[in-house]
A and B are shown apart, each in its own frame.
Chain A
């Protein structure tokens, strides 16, 4: 499993670096301070980094029939899927830790800092679940079918905020107030434990999926 991890680490490292540069750029543009922009973009990047890493890697595997190659080696399906899940977990945790560390270094209003920490953690955990679902989709449906569904999802995703605004009659201010309210009382350890449990469940489910 470690050999697969080592082999895929390059892809993850590349995406990590790109996203880190993007976030750093936003930080510099915001005058290296904790603003709404930096916090939201940081959170968004933590959320999307695992999924972007997976899609780039899986596209590479698909192009090279990488799973056929790995299946011919003395590896079990559990190890192959395990390597993916471990890599994504590592990327997510590392990026979240870096960003939280960076935010702490930048400092600022303690209230805002703790809120931003909770928000980043929340995005990291959300990204992990999303990544688990993406891996389940790819292993279960195959990359092409998954990609079509994924793109359809994103075609609709842009309309979700509009639907929220129209159906529930809530605006960006209400959403922000709701997020701030939830973040203030955010219990990091229980939330992380639950997410890790769900992530492990998704891993088990992916590893058990029918082959061929």
Chain B
């Protein structure tokens, strides 16, 4: 059994004039799904493109399926199913032509699977690409990515242009691929709902840095929203809260150490002075972005 991670980034660096991507460390185990969340311009697409060797990194170590994207670009692309942010195809060609053309490049192309996915996504084979909507193009890109028996899927904002029904279908398809065939998935998105539904591990990318990367369950256990009455929490605990807000009769904030502070909260919760809520990924992202800004 292979234990090597499908994705490993160490000290990855990419410098632009006004932006610097700097990922200390990021790993993804076989069969897992990693969600990369970040605001616009955080470096998600840059990271994904570096993995596909579409952009050259300035420094650091990158391994995809144990291979170096610079040296083994072709082999990586053979074994990876990729869907870019804005899928590009030749507009004057038909869906059928595109499928046939792409099939020529892959060793393990499965025509039946491709046809089945086209039917499932209701994409007409005879339609020209320029006649397809943005969502249809994304679906075609997904169908192509899922038809060559890839071991690892790299998807950059794949659900952005899709309607809720197809979005759910795509997510279920990816989940099934991961669970049934032990495929790994890296999905970048700012639609946190999708990541929350799909990912095992979540990495938050803010201003080019991974500010949080943990298992989804651990994040859910540690990150909580606290509503409290004035004076119900000690000064240190209050100071450690993110996104503090004052409401008419109470205050609120987000903690990232709920398990650690659990005991402190027990009594006030019983007294009704503190209320603990689950927090969604959007709130965590906002808290992290605010945290980054306040750190300068």
Q: Which residues of A contact B (CB under 8 A)?
A: 3, 7, 60, 63-66, 68-69, 71-77, 79, 210-212
Contacts and interface: CB of A to CB of B under 8 A. Distances in A.
Across the A-B interface, the 3 shortest Cβ-Cβ residue pairs: A65-B88, A74-B77, A68-B88
B74 A76 contact: yes
Contacts of A72: 52, 77, 82, 84, 88
B49 to A, nearest CB: 8
B84 A68 contact: yes
Contact of B90 (A66, A71, A77): A66
A143 to B, nearest CB: 14
A65 B141 CA distance: 14
17 contacts: A3-B104, A64-B88, A64-B89, A65-B86, A68-B88, A69-B88, A69-B89, A69-B90, A72-B52, A72-B88, A74-B74, A74-B105, A75-B105, A77-B73, A79-B74, A211-B55, A212-B56
A30 to B, nearest CB: 38
Bin chain B's interface residue count: 20 to 34
A68 B74 CA distance: 15
Contacts of B90: 60, 64, 66, 69
Contacts of B78: 74
Contacts, number: 53
Interface of B: 49, 52-56, 73-75, 77-78, 82, 84, 86, 88-92, 101-102, 104-106
Interface centre among A68, A73, A76, A210 (most CB of B within 10 A): A73
A72 to B, nearest CB: 5
A75 B74 contact: yes
Contacts of B74: 74-76, 79
